[in-house]
């Protein structure tokens, strides 16, 4: 059954104790299987998703007993058969767990896999881990882009989900990313302070730009190593905006190497990567030991080639 048939009438959901505290967009991503994320965001914006008969925003948090109404969803979609998660893929993802206790799992996600299924993606990281562990309750605490590699926090308990999402909202968790950016960054350290506004292209794809109408956004950049044509930067977002590091880099003239959405037209004479050179390398969470994931092999190779250019 394709999504047009499955969701062509009004759909109702009731929030239980396991789902309370989730954002409405994340809730719908996991339940409206096959519906593109861009379509879900549009439904929310247009008031076609109501919670207790009221209009809501994508970031609205749910409470036990909330009644969610989703208007009929009608759109054309290619006939796609969602493939089950293979044992090989599931076990491969399980082998990438770098930290685990009774309530928290942290996974070193490879580039190229989404954190969850949808928008034409049969399955993502969370579906793969549910298949690998057999656990019904595993929930994403936060998200990183499909093309970004690195650390993703996943809760195994409802209480941990709420606690860590509260910490994220209060900026108590420090996330550090490694990024290879175009050009030679002059300042060793800098705070990029530029408000970001999210908008949508005509095809429904989301983009972000610096705009005074946007939300307050800050990123700390520290130079780790300079090369002839690029710089290795450690970036810590002090706010959690979509594509924040990528757009902030573009805003100061240093877009990320391998970024096909922002700054791809900027000249770059270094080695060409196959993907976005952005890696979530470290998490500092109050009450937990520092959690780290080294640079993946493909980014290590890019850095090695850039060093060789520097010597030449």
Per annotation, catalytic residue among 79, 145, 166, 260: 145
Catalytic status, residue 147: no
CA–CA separation, 105 and 89 (whole Å): 18
Cβ atoms of 206 and 198 within 8 Å: the answer is yes
Catalytic residue numbers, as ranges: 145
């Amino acid at each position: 059954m394709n999504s047009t048939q499955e969701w062509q009438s009004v759909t109702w959901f009731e929030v239980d104790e396991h789902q309370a505290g989730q954002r409405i967009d994340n809730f719908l991503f996991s339940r409206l299987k096959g519906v593109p994320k861009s379509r879900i965001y549009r439904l929310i914006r247009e008031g076609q998703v109501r919670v207790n008969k009221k209009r809501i925003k994508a970031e609205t948090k749910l409470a036990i007993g909330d009644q969610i109404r989703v208007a009929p969803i009608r759109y054309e979609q290619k006939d796609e058969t969602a493939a089950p998660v293979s044992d090989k893929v599931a076990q491969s993802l399980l082998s990438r767990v770098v930290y685990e206790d009774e309530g928290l799992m942290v996974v070193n996600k490879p580039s190229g896999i989404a954190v969850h299924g949808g928008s034409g993606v049969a399955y993502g990281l969370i579906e793969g881990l549910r298949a690998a562990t057999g656990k019904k309750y595993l929930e994403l605490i936060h998200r990183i882009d499909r093309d970004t590699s690195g650390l993703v926090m996943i809760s195994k308990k409802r209480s941990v989900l709420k606690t860590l999402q509260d910490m994220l909202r209060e900026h108590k968790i420090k996330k550090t990313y490694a990024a290879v950016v175009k050009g030679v960054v002059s300042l060793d350290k800098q705070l990029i302070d530029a408000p970001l506004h999210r908008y949508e292209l005509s095809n429904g794809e989301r983009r972000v730009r610096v705009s005074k109408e946007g939300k307050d956004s800050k990123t700390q950049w520290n130079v780790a190593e300079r090369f002839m044509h690029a710089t290795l930067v450690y970036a810590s977002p002090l706010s959690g905006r979509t594509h924040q590091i990528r757009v902030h880099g573009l805003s100061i003239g240093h877009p990320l190497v391998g970024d096909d959405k922002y700054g791809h037209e900027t000249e770059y004479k270094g080695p060409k990567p196959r993907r976005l050179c952005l890696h979530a390398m470290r998490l500092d969470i109050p009450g937990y030991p520092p959690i780290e994931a080294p640079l993946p092999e493909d980014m290590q190779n890019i850095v090695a080639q850039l060093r060789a250019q520097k010597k030449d």
